[in-house]
C-alpha cells in the first residue's frame, strides 16, 4: 500500500514538473482600447502569436522569459515574465510612435491696406505678361526649315519605325526593396530572425506571394497604408519562409 501511494505521489510530482505553462494577458493602447493583431514573440522559444479582437493573447512560457510586443505604428515593447505573470494575466500598454507632421504653409492674412494686400495676393503685371508670352510661344509649332537637312548632308531614310512599348515605371522591384530596407531598417527584419544577408531574399519572397505594388512602381511612391500592408504581408509569410542555405 505504501509503495502504491509513493508511486502516485511521484507521478503527480513528475506531471507538475513537466506541465506546459502558459502566459495569458491583454494588450491595450494608451487610450485603454483593446488592440487587435499585436504580434507577441517569446524570445526564448521563438513562438509567435497574435492578439484577438479583444486584445487577449496566450503564449507558452515561464518565469524569466522575455516577451516582445510588435504593432505597426506603435513603439516595440519588451517585458520579462515575472512570477506574478505566471499565476495572473499580464496587462500590456503600447504607446503610439511619434510621427513627423507635414510642414504647413501659412499665408499672410489680409491687413486691410489695399496697397499692401494687392502686392501680397496679386503678382506684378510684368510677371503676368511674361507668363502669358511664354504660354503663347510654347503653343507655336516649330518651323520645319529649322530641322531640315543642309545641302549635301546625309539624311536617314524614313521608315515605319517600331514601337518601344509603354512608358516605364518610375521604380522597379529593386528600388522598392531598397526603400523598404531604408524605411523599416535592418533591425525590423532581425527581430523576425532574418539576418542582414537574407533580407533581400526575404523581401522578394514576400513580394512573390502576391503583394500588390503596381501603383507603387508606377509612381515611385509608398504611402503609410502601403507600408502597413507590406508589414501585414510579412507576418503572413514569415512562418513559411525558408532562408537560402549558404555554402561554407
Q: How many domains does the chain have?
A: 2
**pLDDT (tens place) for every residue of the chain, 248 residues total:** 555 444 444 544 444 444 568 999 999 999 999 999 999 999 999 999 999 999 999 999 999 999 999 999 999 999 999 989 888 899 999 999 887 565 656 666 666 555 566 556 566 676 677 777 777 766 666 555 555 556 555 555 444 444 455 568 899 999 999 999 999 999 999 999 999 999 999 999 999 999 999 999 999 999 999 999 999 999 999 999 987 765 54
pTM for this model (two decimals):
0.37
Domain assignment of residue 47, yes or no? yes
Can you give the CATH number for the domain in which 88 is found? Answer: 2.60.40.1120
Which single residue is written with the C-alpha cell 510677371?
127
Domain assignment of residue 108, yes or no? no
* Residue where one domain finishes, among candidates 42, 69, 94: 94
> How far is CA 17 from each of CA 10, 12, 111, rounded to the nearest angstrom?
11, 9, 81
Domain assignment of residue 86, yes or no? yes
Domain of residue 183, residue span: 173-240
Domain assignment of residue 179, yes or no? yes
Amino acid at each position: 500500500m505504501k509503495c502504491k501511494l509513493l508511486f502516485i505521489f511521484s507521478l503527480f510530482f513528475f506531471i507538475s514538473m513537466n506541465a506546459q505553462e502558459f502566459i495569458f494577458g491583454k494588450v491595450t493602447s494608451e487610450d485603454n482600447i483593446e488592440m487587435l493583431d499585436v504580434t507577441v514573440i517569446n524570445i526564448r522559444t521563438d513562438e509567435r502569436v497574435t492578439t484577438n479582437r479583444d486584445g487577449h493573447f496566450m503564449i507558452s512560457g515561464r518565469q524569466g522569459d522575455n516577451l516582445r510586443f510588435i504593432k505597426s505604428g506603435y513603439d516595440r515593447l519588451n517585458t520579462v515574465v515575472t512570477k506574478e505573470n505566471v499565476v495572473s494575466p499580464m496587462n500590456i500598454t503600447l504607446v503610439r510612435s511619434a510621427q513627423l507632421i507635414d510642414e504647413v504653409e501659412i499665408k499672410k492674412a489680409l491687413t486691410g491696406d489695399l496697397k499692401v494686400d494687392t502686392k501680397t495676393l496679386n503678382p506684378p503685371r510684368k510677371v503676368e505678361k511674361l507668363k502669358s508670352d511664354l504660354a503663347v510661344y510654347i503653343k507655336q509649332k516649330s518651323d520645319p526649315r529649322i530641322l531640315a537637312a543642309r545641302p549635301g548632308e546625309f539624311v536617314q531614310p524614313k521608315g515605319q519605325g517600331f514601337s518601344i512599348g509603354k512608358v516605364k515605371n518610375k521604380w522597379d522591384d529593386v528600388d522598392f526593396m531598397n526603400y523598404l530596407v531604408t524605411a523599416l531598417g535592418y533591425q525590423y527584419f532581425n527581430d523576425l530572425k532574418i539576418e542582414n544577408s537574407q533580407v533581400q531574399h526575404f523581401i522578394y519572397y514576400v513580394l512573390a506571394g502576391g503583394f500588390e505594388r503596381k501603383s507603387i512602381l508606377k509612381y515611385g511612391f509608398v504611402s503609410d497604408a502601403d507600408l502597413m500592408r507590406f508589414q501585414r504581408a510579412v507576418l503572413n509569410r514569415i512562418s513559411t519562409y525558408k532562408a537560402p542555405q549558404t555554402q561554407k
